[in-house]
A = this chain, B = another copy of it.
Amino acid sequence: MRLLLLGFGTVGQGLAELLIEKEPVLKNTYNMECRVVGIADMLKGSIYNADGIDLKAALEKAKAGDRLTDLGDAFAGDALEMVKSANAEMMIEMTYTDIKTGEPATSHIRAALEKGMHVTTSNKGPVALFLNELTALAKSRGVKFLYEGTVISGTPLLNLVRETLAASRITEMKGILNGTTNYILTRMEEGMGYDDALKKAQELGYAEAVPDADVLGWDALAKVTILANAVFGANNKPDDFPCKGITGITPDAINDAKARGKRFKLVGKVWREGDRVKGSVGPEEVDLAHPLAGIMGATNAVTIRTDTLGDVTIVGPGAGRTETGYSMLVDIIAAGGVR
């Protein structure tokens, strides 16, 4: 299977490492041989070689802060041009997320699907905004559009729902979908002020320099929209749902909740109300006895309510180099593996 990687930052490098490490398993268990033929990265340069790129050498260049084009095989055009001209079976879209427009990732994905390439992405923008359109396009071309990494990263939430809750009716999904805000709230409960907790999250690489997407709830809202459309069969945009972040939560409010046996969490929810699908993001005081209350730091968790099992909760890492890279690998296997 010839692969095209768009974006070679943390996630792209994490995937490349896994493709090297898991080569024997892919071959022995899934009868797959993966070959990366193109990498497009705005900062590190773009390379293309129909015979395959030396991934180890590319990783070394990236880690040293050098340009990929030092390896030769420089590709002159941008990512979209690479998608259009490349000969590959699957495109992996890992460029930066723009939650408001979904670009340029959505254009990359449309072009790849139109050419009949499978696509997987960790990019929440295109999935939150255009899931149904992109799924229909993939179907019309007989290929797969997969996005396990967009909601709680490699933790297999979407796969769990698709593969193992067969014949169940899911009535609600509710969870901690953003690790950065959960980290900040955890620190604040320990006594830190909001500004210090945010600074600490930025130092650790959890929060961006402009932290709006996390702290105003937009990232969680994108995930809520993905769940509404992918699991509940809705056709919603993020703007359809109310969204409130954590910036209004004061240390006093946190202490007051604590005294009453409660804990503030930024909760993303999707649920059915009659025939309608509803969604929301906002801070909630969760009872300490609830499974979500115990989710601390940058961990994510989702509780799935079904008619057959009551509540099932899955807890796992919400981000990370290997973890998000792994979600791409699982989707690559789903698209091309034979067991």
Interface residues of A in 125-164 (CB under 8 A from B): 154-156, 159-160, 163-164
Which residues in chain A, 252-283, are within 8 Å of chain B measured between CB atoms? none
Query: Which A residues from 9 to 26 make CB contacts under 8 A with B?
Result: 18, 22, 25-26
**A210 interface residue (CB < 8 Å to B):** no
With A and B bound together, what is the CA distance between A155 and B337 in angstroms? Answer: 26
A74 contacts the other chain (CB 8 A): no
Task: Please tell me if the beta carbons of A315 and B317 are within 8 angstroms of each other in the complex.
Answer: no
Q: Is A53 positioned at the interface, with any CB of B under 8 Å from its CB?
A: no
Known interface pairs A164-B164, A322-B308; A315-B313 also in contact (CB < 8 Å): yes
**When chains A and B are docked, how far (Å) is the Cα of A205 from the Cα of B96?**
54
Min CB gap A154→B, angstroms: 5
Residue of B nearest to A317 (CB): B310
Task: Name A308-335 residues within 8 Å CB distance of B.
Answer: 308-317, 320, 322-323, 326, 329-330, 333-334
Q: Is A30 located at the chain interface by the 8 A CB criterion?
A: yes
Chain B residue nearest to A312 (CB atoms) is B316
Determine how close the nearest CB of chain B comes to the CB of A152; give it in whole angstroms: 10
Does A167 interact with chain B (Cβ within 8 Å)?
A: yes
Q: Which residues does chain B contribute within 8 Å of A337, judged by CB atoms? A: 166
Least distance between A23 CB and chain B CB atoms (Å): 10
Let me know if A80 is at the binding interface, CB within 8 A: no
In the complex, whether A209 has a CB less than 8 A from a CB of chain B is no
In the complex, the answer to whether B308 meets A323 with C-beta atoms within 8 Å is yes
Is the beta-carbon distance between B167 and A26 smaller than 8 angstroms?
Answer: yes
Task: Report whether A308 and B326 are in contact in the complex, using a CB–CB cutoff of 8 Å.
Answer: yes
Contact B323 A316 (CB under 8 A): no
Secondary structure of the A side of the interface?
Answer: mixed
Q: Determine which of B168, B294, B308 lies in contact with A291 in the assembled complex, contact meaning CB atoms within 8 Å.
A: B294
Cα-based distance from A311 to B330 in the complex (angstroms): 17
Interface size on A, residues (CB 8 A): 42
A289 interface residue (CB < 8 Å to B) = yes
Residues from chain B with Cβ under 8 Å of A167 in the complex = 22, 25-26, 29-30, 329-330, 333
Query: Is the pair B296, A289 in contact by a Cβ cutoff of 8 Å?
Result: yes
Is A111 close to B, CB under 8 A?
no
Complex Cα gap A154–B295 (Å): 23
The answer to whether A309 and B326 have CB atoms under 8 Å apart is yes
A165 located at the interface, meaning its Cβ lies under 8 Å from any Cβ of chain B in the complex: yes
Task: Output the residue of A25, A163, A164 with the most chain B CB within 10 A.
Answer: A164
User: How far in angstroms is the closest Cβ of chain B from A262?
Assistant: 15
Known contacts A309-B316, A326-B308, A163 near B166 by CB under 8 Å: no
Q: A316 and B322: CB pair below 8 A?
A: no
A156 proximity list for chain B (CB < 8 A)? 160, 164-165, 312
Chain B hits for A294, CB < 8 A = 289, 291, 293-294
**A25-42 interface bits toward B, Cβ cutoff 8 Å, 1 = contact, 0 = none:** 110011000000000000
CB distance from A168 to the nearest CB of B (A): 7
Q: Which residues of B contact A312 (CB under 8 A)?
A: 155-156, 314-317
Q: Which residues of A contact B (CB under 8 A)?
A: 18, 22, 25-26, 29-30, 154-156, 159-160, 163-168, 289, 291, 293-296, 308-317, 320, 322-323, 326, 329-330, 333-334, 337
